Structure 1
Amino acid sequence: MSFWEKLVNFISQSAGTVLTGVVEAVRTLFEGDPETRRQVAFSVSLIALSAKMAKADGFVTLEEVNAFHEIFEIPEGERRNVARLYNLARQDTAGYEAYARTLKNLCSDGEEGCPLLEEVIDGLFHIAKADGTVHEKELEFLAHVAEIFGISEARFTAICARHMDLGERDPYGVLGVSRSDDFKTIRSRYRALVAENHPDRLIARGVPKEFHAAANDRMARINAAYEAIERELKAA
């Protein structure tokens, strides 16, 4: 029996809300295996919150479904179990705020400023923008979840800039720097972002390897932003 099947069966048989079942399942099934537990916690958080985001937005597009499968290269035989988890979360009476608060603890395990939570927000953006735009209700949802996660406004703005056109704050916003910063500061920030997004660092944080498609998209945007700033400053 795969861990997805175990997870869904455990949740389906547990008492209380789906959210309670999710937390109990992750902690019970993967006790003693912290690496797998963090990866599963990340995956479950992204699946559950994407389901709640779809509910907040009111509809799910084919492009968003494809983006979801692009992030999680789910084997054909497991898609039914993942779809069951998605639908259970979407139909749960608990609001998305309750999900965000509980999943924050599940992902961070009490760690303040947990990078894994930023990865969840980044993944949700990747899904939300798949139909060509991040809709107002989706952005409102993402901003509130980020606030619950304890992600600063500056960090959230930088994540936004990687996925949305923010006018004059882009490409500087992508790197999380200011137009008044000197090139040495900008280059230092760029190198830090490259190091943060190295596949080995992602795996160490608990990001499943299947999520690297979204991470590659993020790195492409970071590289493009740095190159644009470099060209602008050389031309000045």
Structure 2
Amino acid sequence: MSIWTRITDAISALAKGESLTSVFEKLRTPPERSVAFTIAVIALSAKMAKADGLVTRDEVTAFREVFQIAQEDEAGAARVFNLARQDVAGFEDYARKIKAMFGEGENCFCDLMEGLFHIAMADGTYHPAEDAFLQRVAEIFGLPEIEFRGLRARFVPDAVPDPYSVLGVSPDAPPEDIRAAWKRLIRDSHPDAMIARGVPPEAVKLAEKRMIDINRAWEEIQERQG
């Protein structure tokens, strides 16, 4: 069954007057978590689109890249996006509901933020309103500041490329701690690990760029340390 068919089933209650945030309450456990992940990224992206004032064709393309949306499923994806844009609930309410839904799964929040950064940068511009939006969402998710800076350094060309931030470590951390952080990130980026924490198979390709960035950062640190 297509994930978009499952999503359509999950939000069918909206026709009865429920809000989109109420859907999150029903999607706490596998396999529904993959549905929840997809709805969460699209819903927050819709709110982010309102932050910078427009939705571009590039952003729509970015959705397709992350979720590999088949032509027959585009209407379902568009429905979620439009419902989120029209919902009176603010993005902070969405973020808190998503935080409660996924609990303390920090890795899952990194996955979600990667999807949002990918879509934010789809048009090649990182708008100040998008930065403020993403910082606030990361704060609600409980994502450490150093991890947010690492995400921004990876996705935003104008950000200072800091390999230590990419690995989430301090420049003065012991070499063995930096190596341990690199190995942990590689392990957490494995497709099986991502699917286990609720990332739908359609979105696992997010990890491809992450693996490249993580290994590049590790190699740069090794060169600096000689």
Same fold (TM over 0.5): yes
Q: Is 1:56–1:141's contact at 8 Å kept on the other side of the alignment?
A: yes
**Matched residue, 1:231:** 223
Q: Is 1:49–1:99's contact at 8 Å kept on the other side of the alignment?
A: yes
Q: Find out whether 1:210 has 2:206 as its counterpart.
A: no
Measure the CA separation in 2 of the matches of 1:102 and 1:5. 19
Q: Is 2:7–2:35's contact at 8 Å kept on the other side of the alignment?
A: no
C-alpha distance after superposition, 1:67-103 (max 9, x if no partner): 1110001221111011011001011111111111112
C-alpha distance after superposition, 1:197-227 (max 9, x if no partner): 1111101111111112211111111111111
Deviation at 1:53, TM superposition (A): 0.3
**Matched residue, 1:10:** 13
**Matched residue, 1:19:** 21
Alignment RMSD (CA, Å): 1.9
Q: Is 2:167–2:217's contact at 8 Å kept on the other side of the alignment?
A: yes
Measure the CA separation in 2 of the matches of 1:199 and 1:17. 32
Measure the CA separation in 1 of the matches of 2:219 and 2:194. 23
Q: Is 1:162–1:222's contact at 8 Å kept on the other side of the alignment?
A: no
Provide the TM-score with structure 2 as the length reference. 0.90
Write the mapping of 1:31-110 to structure 2, written as runs, cut at 5 A: 34-106=29-101, 108=102
Residue type matched to 1:166 in 2?
Answer: A
Measure the CA separation in 2 of the matches of 1:115 and 1:188. 16
Measure the CA separation in 1 of the matches of 2:16 and 2:132. 32
Deviation at 1:3, TM superposition (A): 1.5
Q: Is 2:7–2:39's contact at 8 Å kept on the other side of the alignment?
A: no
Percent of pairs with identical residues: 45
Unaligned runs of 5+ in 2: none
Runs of 4+ in 1 over 4 A off after TM superposition: none
C-alpha distance after superposition, 1:135-155 (max 9, x if no partner): 111010011011111222222
Unaligned runs of 5+ in 1: none
Measure the CA separation in 2 of the matches of 1:8 and 1:77. 18
Q: Is 1:19–1:99's contact at 8 Å kept on the other side of the alignment?
A: yes
Q: Find out whether 1:192 has 2:184 as its counterpart.
A: yes
Q: Find out whether 1:146 has 2:138 as its counterpart.
A: yes
Residue type matched to 1:36 in 2?
Answer: P
Aligned residues: 222
Measure the CA separation in 2 of the matches of 1:182 and 1:166. 25
Residue type matched to 1:137 in 2?
Answer: A
Deviation at 1:113, TM superposition (A): 4.6
Q: Is 1:161–1:174's contact at 8 Å kept on the other side of the alignment?
A: yes
Deviation at 1:186, TM superposition (A): 1.7
Deviation at 1:175, TM superposition (A): 0.8
Residue type matched to 1:82 in 2?
Answer: A
Deviation at 1:118, TM superposition (A): 2.0
Deviation at 1:120, TM superposition (A): 0.9
Provide the TM-score with structure 1 as the length reference. 0.86
Q: Is 1:42–1:207's contact at 8 Å kept on the other side of the alignment?
A: yes
Residue type matched to 1:115 in 2?
Answer: N
Q: Find out whether 1:120 has 2:112 as its counterpart.
A: yes
